Amino acid sequence: MTLGIPRGGVIVGNMVAKKLSSEFDIIIPRKLRAPHTEEVAIGAVMEDGYFYLNREIVRELSISQDYIEKEKSIQINEIKRRTAIYRNRTDTIATRIRHKNSIVLVDDGVATGATAIVTARWIKTINPNCLIIAVPIAPKDSINLLRKEANHIEVITSPSSSNFKSVGQYYRDFKPVTDEQVINIMIPSKEM
Q: What are phi and psi of 157, to 5 degrees?
A: -125, 130
Mean pLDDT throughout 95-102? 92
Whether residue 188 is predicted with pLDDT greater than 80 in this model: the reply is no
**Strand, helix or coil for residue 75:** helix
Q: What letter would DSSP give residue 170?
A: G
Whether residue 30 is predicted with pLDDT greater than 60 in this model: the reply is yes
Residue 85, strand partner residues: none
Q: What letter would DSSP give residue 177?
A: P
Reported as a single tens digit per residue, the pLDDT across 106-159 is 999 999 999 999 999 999 999 778 999 999 999 999 999 999 999 999 999 888
**Domains in the chain, CATH or no CATH each:** 2-186 (3.40.50.2020)
On the question of a cis peptide bond just before residue 30, with omega within 30 degrees of 0, the verdict is no
Reported as a single tens digit per residue, the pLDDT across 159-185 is 888 888 889 898 999 899 999 999 999
Reported as a single tens digit per residue, the pLDDT across 54-93 is 999 999 999 999 999 999 999 999 999 999 999 888 889 9
Helix (H) or strand (E) holding 41: strand 37-45
Amino acid at position 103, single letter: I
CA 82 – CA 141 distance, rounded (Å): 30
pTM confidence score: 0.92
